[in-house]
């Protein structure tokens, strides 16, 4: 008995020691994380995207607290997200006809276009269009891959849209030069990927600019070449400034190969006139620069004395469409009057591109297989909507007009309202979905921000968020002239909400100046 007890004790002791040794061993040999902030791609780590940056992260944290905190913890009961052009997220209703067509395209035939009661639920033109879409998808439905550039029928509809919009001769636009994309963003990324072959590859971008350009250029390791828009002239273009920026870049050894134009403007809300557009094309032709025309807000033009004038049309008008000028134009279902951001629909058209380069872009598109099919369908519907006499035409146009007229009102509410705040200066919003006011910051705020290593307009934006629940994007995230401060806001929330926002911004600015005077 005594021997058995001793043996059990020894075995238990040995097992304990072995477990301890084993645990110690694993503690010693388990490596640190292979992928860390220090070991990861530093271009990605250093990339900034202000539209969903620090202020928005803070807004999401507060939004979570609002749902669980006792009433009265904050001076507001909801976050007003004016940081991003995401219309449906702040109350814009989707257009009826496109959603009807998409629903029928998504449904199996026996529950949709072939159901005996379908005509009681859907208008005849929506049913007919859904049949056309299913045919364009070769009967595979919305769950299958498509051609990497998008179905030929959809691309032909885009060609017809461009030709009608720009009064071009039938057949001027080639479906081979159309790439359907996940919003405009993926097309922009594809072109920048092709353009940036070394750290010295330079892309001219407007200042201020939409951060997808600066972020993507940084991620691919290229060089940003900023040219300043003229705020005092309604954010107009100045050819002398373009020449200055290009000459300075060349002096620094940068190989500038391309030029980005955003019209109507983001974040500035300007709409360039015909002469400015033509001058840009002449500048690009003169210096052999590929032109990236970001035209996603082409439907969002509110001022009666302004109109959208495409780079494609300008090229034809001044005889550069056959000159070898390289132009890529982007459009999207996310903006305009559709506002279908989540669908990720869009396209790009290539003009004057080397066919071998187009083949390489096709290879890149093929590596992603295809853009998402529902987004492709939404793009098809955007460029080829109901026609006069169709069952849905009147209702579709009425819904679009209501959205447009309300956006025009909200543009005035915001730009006029900000201009009435002492210390604010705001150019009249002519187009797009944004307002970009200049804000005089008190010296105390500038000193405090410098001490904390934070841009002063970030300090201001965080304060505005914490005191009012209004989420804007600091102007520093878009680039601006030295000494200028401000923010970008959308005017997508309701008219009533935007009136309240302007008042809250005015009251907060007074308190902010008193706090930091």
pLDDT, tens digit (0-9, with 9 covering 90-100), for 299-312: 999 999 999 999 99
What is the CA angle 124-127-130, rounded to 5? Answer: 150
Cα 39 to Cα 363: distance, rounded to the nearest angstrom? 30
Cα 107 to Cα 286: distance, rounded to the nearest angstrom? 52
Q: Which positions ≥6 away from 240 have C-beta within 8 Å?
A: none
Torsion of CA 186, 188, 191, 192, to 10 degrees: -110
Start-to-end CA distance of the chain, whole Å, equals 88
Are residues 420 and 441 in contact, defined by beta-carbon separation less than 8 angstroms? no
Token duo for residue 9: 């004790």
Q: Which of 108, 187, 220, 156 is nearest to 384 (CA)?
A: 156
Tokens 């290879």 belong to 363
Q: Which of 271, 294, 275 is nearest to 283 (CA)?
A: 275
Question: How large is the C-alpha radius of gyration of the chain?
Answer: 27
Sheet holding 434-435, edge to edge: 434-435, 487-490, 473-474
In sequence order, the β-bridge partners of residue 473 are 488
Q: Which of 345, 350, 386 is nearest to 128 (CA)?
A: 386
Q: Which of 471, 369, 392 is nearest to 58 (CA)?
A: 471
Domains in the chain (CATH in brackets) are 46-90+397-516 (3.90.1150.10), 145-383 (3.40.640.10)
In sequence order, the β-bridge partners of residue 202 are 223, 256
Tokens 């200042």 belong to 207
Tens digit of pLDDT at every position of the chain (517 positions): 454 555 455 555 555 555 555 555 445 555 688 778 787 777 777 767 666 678 888 888 988 998 887 777 788 888 999 988 889 988 899 999 999 999 999 988 888 788 888 888 999 999 999 999 999 998 888 889 999 999 999 999 999 999 999 999 999 999 999 999 999 999 999 999 999 999 999 999 999 999 899 999 999 999 999 999 999 999 999 999 999 999 999 999 999 999 999 999 999 999 999 999 999 999 999 999 999 999 999 999 999 999 999 999 999 999 998 888 999 999 999 999 999 998 999 999 999 999 999 999 999 999 999 999 999 999 999 999 999 999 999 999 999 999 999 999 999 999 999 999 999 999 999 999 999 999 999 999 999 999 988 899 999 999 999 999 999 999 988 988 889 999 999 999 999 999 999 999 999 999 999 999 8
**Exposed e or buried b per residue across 282-317, where buried means at least 16 C-beta atoms within 10 angstroms of its C-beta:** ebbbeeebbbbbbbbbbbbbbbeebebbbbbbbbbb
Tokens 């990236």 belong to 292
| pTM across the whole model | 0.88
Helices (H), 69-210: 96-106, 118-121, 124-136, 152-165, 183-195
Are residues 156 and 132 in contact, defined by beta-carbon separation less than 8 angstroms? no
């Amino acid at each position: 008995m005594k021997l058995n007890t001793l043996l059990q004790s020894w075995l238990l002791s040995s097992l304990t020691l072995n477990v301890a040794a084993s645990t110690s061993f694993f503690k010693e040999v388990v490596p640190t994380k292979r992928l860390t902030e220090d070991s990861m791609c530093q271009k990605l780590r250093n990339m900034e995207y202000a539209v969903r940056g620090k202020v928005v992260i803070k807004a999401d944290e507060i939004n979570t607290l609002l749902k669980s905190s006792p009433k009265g913890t904050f001076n507001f009961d909801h976050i007003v997200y004016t940081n991003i052009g995401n219309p449906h997220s702040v109350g814009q209703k989707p257009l009826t006809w496109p959603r009807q067509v998409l629903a029928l395209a998504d449904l199996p035939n026996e529950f949709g276009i072939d159901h005996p009661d379908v005509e009681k639920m859907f208008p005849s033109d929506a049913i007919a269009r859904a049949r056309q879409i299913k045919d364009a998808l070769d009967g595979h439905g919305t769950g299958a891959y498509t051609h990497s550039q998008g179905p030929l029928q959809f691309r032909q509809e885009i060609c017809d849209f461009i030709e009608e919009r720009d009064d071009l001769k039938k057949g001027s636009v080639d479906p081979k030069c159309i790439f359907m994309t996940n919003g405009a963003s993926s097309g922009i990324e594809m072109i920048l990927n092709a353009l940036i072959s070394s750290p010295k590859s330079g892309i001219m971008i407007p200042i201020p600019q939409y951060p997808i350009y600066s972020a993507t250029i940084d991620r691919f390791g290229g060089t940003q070449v900023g040219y300043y828009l003229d705020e005092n002239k309604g954010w107009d273009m100045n050819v002398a400034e373009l020449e200055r920026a290009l000459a300075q870049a060349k002096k620094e050894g940068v190989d500038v190969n391309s030029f980005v134009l955003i019209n109507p403007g983001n974040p500035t809300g300007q709409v360039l006139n015909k002469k400015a557009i033509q001058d840009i094309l002449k500048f690009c032709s003169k210096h052999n620069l590929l032109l990236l025309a970001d035209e996603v807000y082409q439907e969002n033009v509110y001022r009666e004395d302004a109109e959208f004038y495409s780079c494609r049309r300008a090229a034809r008008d001044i005889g550069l469409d056959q000159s070898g000028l390289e132009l890529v134009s982007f459009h999207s279902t996310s903006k305009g009057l559709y506002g279908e951001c989540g669908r990720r629909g869009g396209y790009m058209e290539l003009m004057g591109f080397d066919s071998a380069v187009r083949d390489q872009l096709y290879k890149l598109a093929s590596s992603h297989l295809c853009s998402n099919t529902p987004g492709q369908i939404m793009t098809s519907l955007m460029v080829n909507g109901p026609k006069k006499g169709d069952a849905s035409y009147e209702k579709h146009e009425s819904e679009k007009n209501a959205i447009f007229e309300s956006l025009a009102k909200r543009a005035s509410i915001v730009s006029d309202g900000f201009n009435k705040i002492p210390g604010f200066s705001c150019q009249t919003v002519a187009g797009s979905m944004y307002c970009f006011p200049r804000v005089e910051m008190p010296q105390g705020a500038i000193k405090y921000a410098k001490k904390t290593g934070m841009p002063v307009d970030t300090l201001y934006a965080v304060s505005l968020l914490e005191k009012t629940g209004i989420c804007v994007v600091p102007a520093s995230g878009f680039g601006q002239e030295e000494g200028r401060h401000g923010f970008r806001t959308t005017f997508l929330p309701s008219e009533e909400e935007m009136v309240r926002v302007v008042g809250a911004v005015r009251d907060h600015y007074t308190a902010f100046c008193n706090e930091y005077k």
